[in-house]
């Protein structure tokens, strides 16, 4: 797809149907000429972002450290997350280098 906008969608988390909704979002964006790569590996995605080839970053996720309540204990191993210093640097470099960023927050 020549001239298409290349997008990275970072997704995943608890409490929302990310596994179903992220591919739907990918399809909607494809209809607008945006070719997306979808991953729930946030750090891996940001490493790929650093390698180039993306024009846009879409964050459609609900990820945090999950330390405030034991009700999140069953989800911590898979979904708890805190962005590493390298991840912060990669994100900062992408946005300040002219890359676009769109944060989708579940409602």
Residue 106: its pLDDT value, please? 46
Q: What is the pLDDT of residues 78-102, one digit of tens each?
A: 999 999 999 999 999 998 888 876 5
pLDDT value at 1 more than 60: no
Quick check: 107 pLDDT over 70? no
Strands 34-39 and 5-13: parallel
Query: What are 63's two structure tokens?
Result: 């990820």
Q: Convert the pLDDT of each residue in 10-65 to its tens digit.
A: 999 998 999 999 999 999 999 999 999 999 999 999 999 999 999 999 999 999 99
Please tell me the distance from the alpha carbon of residue 65 to that of residue 79, in angstroms, as a whole number: 8
Q: Which residues contact 10 (CB under 8 A, 6 or more apart)?
A: 39, 40, 42, 45, 46, 57, 58, 59, 60, 61
**At 22, is the secondary structure helix, strand, or coil?**
helix
Q: How far is CA 86 from CA 2, 39, 75, 83, in A?
A: 31, 18, 24, 8
């Amino acid at each position: 797809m020549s001239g298409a906008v290349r997008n990275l969608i970072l997704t995943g988390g608890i409490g929302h149907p990310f596994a179903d909704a992220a591919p739907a979002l990918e399809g909607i964006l494809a209809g607008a000429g945006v070719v997306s790569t979808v991953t729930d590996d946030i750090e891996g995605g940001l490493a790929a972002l650093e390698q180039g080839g993306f024009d846009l970053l879409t964050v459609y996720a609900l990820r945090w450290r999950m330390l405030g309540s034991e009700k999140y204990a069953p989800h911590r191993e898979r979904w708890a997350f805190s962005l590493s210093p390298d991840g912060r640097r990669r994100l900062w470099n992408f946005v300040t280098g002219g890359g676009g960023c769109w944060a989708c927050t579940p409602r």
